[in-house]
Amino acid sequence: MTETDWLHDRIGSAHRGENPTVLRRLDAGFAVIGDRQFLPGYSVLLTDDPAVTRLSDLPRARRAMYLGDLERLAEAVERACRRLDPAFRRVNIEILGNADPYLHTHIWPRYDWEPADRVRLPVWLYEEEYWRGGQHALSHRHDGLRAAIGEELDTLTGQSGPRG
């Protein structure tokens, strides 16, 4: 197994403890920090079942758990990013599913320092340079951000009562 095998099996590797992007195991999925950090704090909620391809595949009770996880991760990203960068604006939440076949949700922090021609548009319109290469790749320089989001998740999980 190579260091990047988890990229081809994000959910299975998360279950096995081999996915280095996992921030926390939640009730119905995994909170992970994004591979690309051109918008610092970008995170994803992965379903814990790779056979689930859309939100409507989940039974209502499980769907509510997934959406609860989503709400918690989005708020954790918002709190951490607001604390770390005064130019934080808001989070955008997207369930797309056009490239990866399993249910997952993108949580994109948005900032006042973004280029004026990009700040009001979907992040998918950022140029290719933001999506490739090492400049914006997740690395050890993001450890503080990872820790901040994880701490906020822990706080919010404690506030929401028992898990299970």
Mean pLDDT for 20-30 is: 96
For residue 86, the enclosing domain spans 5-157
Residue 138, domain member (yes or no) = yes
Measured between alpha carbons, how far is 52 from 101 in angstroms, rounded to an integer?
8
Residue 53, domain member (yes or no) = yes
> Which SS3 state, helix, strand or coil, does residue 50 take?
coil
Residue 102, domain member (yes or no) = yes
Residue 85, domain member (yes or no) = yes
Residue 163, domain member (yes or no) = no
Asked if 87 and 41 touch (Cβ cutoff 8 Å), the reply is: no
Measured between alpha carbons, how far is 26 from 159 in angstroms, rounded to an integer?
14
Task: Locate 17 and state its tokens.
Answer: 């403890």
Asked if 67 and 56 touch (Cβ cutoff 8 Å), the reply is: no
Comparison of pLDDT for 117 and 145, the residue scoring more: 145
Residue 139, domain member (yes or no) = yes
Residue 56, domain member (yes or no) = yes
**Whole-number pLDDT of residue 3:** 59
Measured between alpha carbons, how far is 33 from 93 in angstroms, rounded to an integer?
14
Comparison of pLDDT for 4 and 14, the residue scoring more: 14
Task: Read off the pLDDT band of 2 (50, 70, 90).
Answer: low
**Residue 103 identity:** L
Task: Locate 117 and state its tokens.
Answer: 């021609």
**Whole-number pLDDT of residue 157:** 87
Answer whether residue 4 shows pLDDT above 90. no
11's CB contacts (< 8 A; 6+ apart) are: 30, 46, 47, 48, 49, 50, 102
Asked if 103 and 62 touch (Cβ cutoff 8 Å), the reply is: no
Tally of structural domains, the chain: 1
Residue 162, domain member (yes or no) = no
Mean pLDDT for 15-38 is: 96
Task: Check which CATH number belongs to the domain holding 123 and give it.
Answer: 3.30.428.10
Mean pLDDT for 56-75 is: 97
Asked if 31 and 21 touch (Cβ cutoff 8 Å), the reply is: no
